[in-house]
Amino acid sequence: MPLIRRIPKRGFNHARFQTAISVINVGALAAVFPSGSDVTPVAMVSHGLIRAERRVKLLADGEVPHALTIHVHAASVSAREKVEKAGGRVELIA
């Protein structure tokens, strides 16, 4: 076996600096939370939609039949439009 394959590999690894992001779709939120609810990452964890309290990004898969106030760290433009069209709002967490 060549020497380069026998020597242990060490060096810089980007995995230590990655931020964990949970992705949630608006359809999943609309199915769980009733109209007029205040949806936070803590509430999503308690309903079993995401695993842990980490950064949450809202995506636009699904339909929103009623108004929700959603607090997330990031949201796609189309997800924000769907929520606002249903009469709700998306608030970004700093």
Query: How many of the other CB atoms lie within 10 Å of CB of 55?
Result: 14
The predicted pLDDT at position 54 comes to 86
- The number of angstroms, rounded, from the C-alpha of 74 to the middle of its chain's C-alpha atoms is 7
What's the CATH class of domain 14-92? alpha beta
76 contacts 91 by C-beta, under 8 angstroms: no
The predicted pLDDT at position 15 comes to 85
Tokens in use for 9? 């590999």
Per-residue pLDDT reduced to its tens digit, 43-68: 999 999 998 878 999 999 999 999 99
Instruction: Give the chain's residues under pLDDT 70.
Output: none
The predicted pLDDT at position 9 comes to 85
Where do the domains of the chain lie?
14-92
The predicted pLDDT at position 1 comes to 87
Helix (H, G, I), strand (E, B) or coil at 87: coil
